[in-house]
Amino acid sequence: MAMSNITGSFQLMKSLNRSLVLNKIRSAGAVSRAEIAKETKLTPPTVTKLVGELIESNLVKESDMGTSKGGRKPVLLTINDRQFFAIGLDVGARKIRGVLTDLNAKEIVNDQVDLHKDISSDELTMLMIKMIKSLITVSNVKKEQIVGVGVGMHGIVDNEKGVARFAPSYHLREIPIKDSLKEAVNLPVFVENDAKAMALGELWFGAGRGFDNLICVNVGVGIGAGIIFNNRLYHGNNSVAGEVGHTIIDLNGRKCSCGSYGCLQTVAGGDSIAERAIRELSFGRKSLLMNKTSTRDEISGELIYQCAIEGDELSQDILSETGKYLGIGMTNMINLMNPAKLIIGGGVSKADNFILDPLKEVVSKKALTDEVKNTDITKSELEDRATVIGAVTIVLADLFTPDLLNLK
Amino acid sequence: MAMSNITGSFQLMKSLNRSLVLNKIRSAGAVSRAEIAKETKLTPPTVTKLVGELIESNLVKESDMGTSKGGRKPVLLTINDRQFFAIGLDVGARKIRGVLTDLNAKEIVNDQVDLHKDISSDELTMLMIKMIKSLITVSNVKKEQIVGVGVGMHGIVDNEKGVARFAPSYHLREIPIKDSLKEAVNLPVFVENDAKAMALGELWFGAGRGFDNLICVNVGVGIGAGIIFNNRLYHGNNSVAGEVGHTIIDLNGRKCSCGSYGCLQTVAGGDSIAERAIRELSFGRKSLLMNKTSTRDEISGELIYQCAIEGDELSQDILSETGKYLGIGMTNMINLMNPAKLIIGGGVSKADNFILDPLKEVVSKKALTDEVKNTDITKSELEDRATVIGAVTIVLADLFTPDLLNLK
DNA sequence: AGATTTTAATTAAGTGGCATAAAAATGAAA
DNA sequence: TTTCATTTTTATGCCACTTAATTAAAATCT
């Protein structure tokens, strides 16, 4: 299909403006009709009408009076955040987290459950359903008030079909999450890759606010990226976009779980951190890690973060090296996609700046032009809640900014 | 700015539909009003009206009658391709090519001029202006009939300002192409990086027709990519997007002109091909290359392509190796961006399949999922005209699909 | 304090551009 | 020749916006 296949119509016009107004209210927190008119370039009568409909549908409410600027006081409008709610699930390698939030993604209740490695598709689905039901029960919210369920799932996800194509942590394939949950709880369900959910979460509620073109990288055992163009998630042609962990940065590197050699993941993924520590220790290097563990298996990324913060030199060195490798991967990504902002999330958030600083240094040395050398790089603001809030955000995005222009 | 900041209005509605109709005519070649209505989901009266205005403005004309399907014969509409024209320039490392085409990008006249390595900004600009004027004179087209000038420029280009930020081939910086040309010829001027122009050219008139999400890679001395999302060029935050030649694939690789080590360009760029040949010859390997050259300096990419086609084993081996390295870079790009189509252009087009086959093989082995392993990869259809036709296409894109929705 | 000015929001009327319905044009098929 | 199918145009209506005028309410000026 060539072209921006968008047919202009009255519905489009109205939907566009409705979204515009709704989103202005959402992103501003509280605005008057007059200000909306000014900022959206809609006329006051139009804004009045649209706001009226939004109030009618209970999405928006009039709240306080604003301060006068020399005339009549403005009536401030806010999202009616006690009327509707959204549910988000973060289906990670070792546990499922869940939250039920209001329309500002403010948490009302949360829940979590541990997973075992050899869980089956049915068990997993069942746990998700159970959690959704529990969140609803505990929060004491009516089901009609819930606008949808978002799922941030690790691995390869087909977001259109709502299927987890491949979940490496439990070696499961083709889990029909959307269909299963939809049938069980009778709510709209959205399924998305965890890094993509995270990116959307950071865009709306975290470090990405105000940007419309960013990349958020989830560094854990795997390394995935969520790419945002024009305020929307970019999925690519087969929902595979963002697999930065499997970009090759070392032709002669070690074999990766994907079969290739020298993937970023093999030198900067969570497992590689622990392996590097074990190797260094076997060379006889001293470290706090020795005092805190009795067997090799106890050495984990988290522990190394902890020790680094406590001043352990080996741990710091390891994280620094990880940061450098990660920096290479990020530089490649920056040279290719030139995002306005790069957000680093996942376990790394816990590693203070031991990873981030060397990462930034590599980018500032190796990226191509002065402008991209200075790419704005920060760590996740939502930290370990990024994916679950991101999952909620998928639901909110559908509510607040429906994809009117059928951009893929 | 959060959100699809698009205000719905009557103008928007109309522009959207006007573009929709215009583009349907352009991409179909010849269609009836009825068919346009069917395909665009506009109503027949609306199409009649919009077509009337397009005919009025001389962009569209009624051509032949179509064949009846059991009723009145349809009147076929076509782009009025003898009324308006566009100019494209390809400012390469060693020469400038220019074309003047009709609105279907069909060449009317062309021109080219050689450049010397130490050319100045003023000289370069002067040559461009001279060529534009010459194209107009020779074609005998009135200046009012020319809708604009597009420039595909190698190196780093700021397309918004129309400035060539850095042109590595002649070590020039900050050439204000747009302003200079605009002043001299008094026509709308668009300046774009060569790979990006190429991508747009292939999208509209080459191997990319029918896709709305593709990457076109220009393999020459440098390796640049033009990224198309939603039928539009993606520039990134500083117009730097697409610099795949400077993505690092070999941590321990050779130093690149950019200062980093192991950039794709160092193992798959044009220079590396010649260097590899020289090295192999110095090891005493036999080759047609020996017969065709007297000094090392004569060994070039082109010559190697030629020898490979003539059956020279060494040349074939070298190209195969180049293809493998290029395949790594392409795999990384595919894993990151998951394009629907990958087009390989530049000098490589002349290398037959000696590069493309190993490239595809690497992708099919190393890309992450089955779907992306099978990414549609072909070589450029427009071949050495890709950039210059792409330059024309920038002008046409502005005419046919103005950026109504201010997507960046 | 009262009049004036400023800002906010609503009401009323007008307009642009698309849709629906019907008709005209034209040709194939019965 | 009549009937039917398809293409295109004409006439009318309607939707969602805009412009202009009005009401509301507060700050500032005299």
Rg of chain B taking only CA atoms, in angstroms: 23
Neighbours of A351 (CB within 10 A): 27
State the residue for tokens 């210059």: B388
* CB B13 within 7 Å, strand D: no
Superfamily of domain A208-381: ATPase, nucleotide binding domain (3.30.420.40)
- Domain ranges for chain A, please list them: 10-79, 85-203+387-400, 208-381
Task: Please count the other Cβ atoms lying within 10 Å of the Cβ belonging to residue B201.
Answer: 35
| DSSP-based three-state secondary structure for A193 | strand
B40 contacts in A (CB within 8 Å)?
Answer: 7
Q: Are B308 and B351 in contact (CB under 8 A)?
A: yes
| pLDDT tens figures, A206-247 | 999 999 999 999 999 899 999 999 899 999 999 999 999 999
> At A310, which amino acid appears?
E
State the average pLDDT over residues B382-403: 93
Return all residues near B126 (Cβ < 8 A) that are at least 6 apart.
none
Which chain A residue is nearest to residue B374, measuring alpha carbons? A238
> What is the CATH code for B209-381?
3.30.420.40
How far apart (Å, rounded) are the C-alpha atoms in residues A397 and A391? 10
Strand D close residues, chain A 62-121, CB < 7 angstroms: 65, 68, 70-73
Ranges assigned E (strand) in B59-115: 60-65, 75-79, 85-91, 95-102, 107-114
> In this predicted structure, what is the pLDDT of residue A405?
62
Model confidence over B321-342: pLDDT tens digits? 999 999 999 999 999 999 999 9
User: Would A85-203+387-400 and A208-381 be classified into the same CATH topology?
Assistant: yes
Residue B333 to residue A336, Cβ atoms within 8 A? yes
State yes or no: pLDDT of B72 exceeds 60: yes
Q: Which of B13, B42, B247 sits opposite A332 (nearest CB)?
A: B247
To the nearest 10 degrees (0 to 180), the angle between helices A44-56 and A10-28 is 80
Which tokens go with B12?
A: 């928007």
Are A124 and A94 in contact by the 8 Å Cβ rule? The answer is: no
Q: Which residues pair with A232 in a beta bridge?
A: A229
Please calculate the CA angle B261-A265-A164 and round it to the nearest 5 degrees.
Answer: 140
Give dist(CA A355, CA A375) in Å, integer. 17
The encoded tokens of residue B160 equal 């918004």
- Residue % of chain A over a pLDDT of 90: 78
Q: For residue B354, which phi and psi values (nearest 5 degrees)?
A: -65, -30
Q: What is the mean pLDDT of chain B?
A: 92
- Tokens standing for A280? 């260094």
Count of positions (residues) in chain A: 408
Q: How far is CA A408 from the centre of its chain?
A: 19
A85-203+387-400 homologous superfamily: ATPase, nucleotide binding domain (3.30.420.40)
pLDDT at B301: 80
Distance CA B149, CA B100 (A): 9
Tokens matching residue B240: 């730097």
Here the tokens at position B406 are 């201010």
Distance in angstroms: CA A67, C1' C2: 24
User: Is the CB of B184 less than 7 A from some atom of nucleic acid strand D?
Assistant: no
Give which of A183, A187, A148, A213 is closest to A392, Cα–Cα: A148
A255 φ/ψ angles, rounded to the nearest 5 degrees: -75, 135
Tell me the C-alpha distance between A335 and B236, whole Å. 10
For chain A, give the percent of residues with pLDDT over 70.
98
How many angstroms separate the CA atoms of B230 and B213, rounded? 6
Regarding predicted confidence, which is higher, A98 or B296? Answer: A98
User: What nucleotide is nearest A8 when CA is compared to C1'?
Assistant: C18
CB contact under 8 A, B251 and A248: no
Looking across all nucleic acid strands, the nucleotide with the smallest C1' to CA distance from residue B42 is C18
**Whether pLDDT at A120 is above 90:** yes
Chain C: positions less than 7 Å from a protein CB are 5-13, 16-22, 24-29
Contact call for A23 and B2, based on CB within 8 A: yes
Residue B291's Cα: distance from chain center in Å? Answer: 36
Of chain A, the end-to-end C-alpha distance in Å amounts to: 12
What class has domain A10-79? mainly alpha
Contacts of B404 in chain A (CB under 8 A): 4
User: Phi/psi of residue B196, each to 5°?
Assistant: -70, -40
Question: In this predicted model, what pLDDT tens digit does every residue of B216-271 receive, in sequence order?
Answer: 999 998 999 999 998 999 999 999 999 999 999 999 999 999 999 999 999 999 89
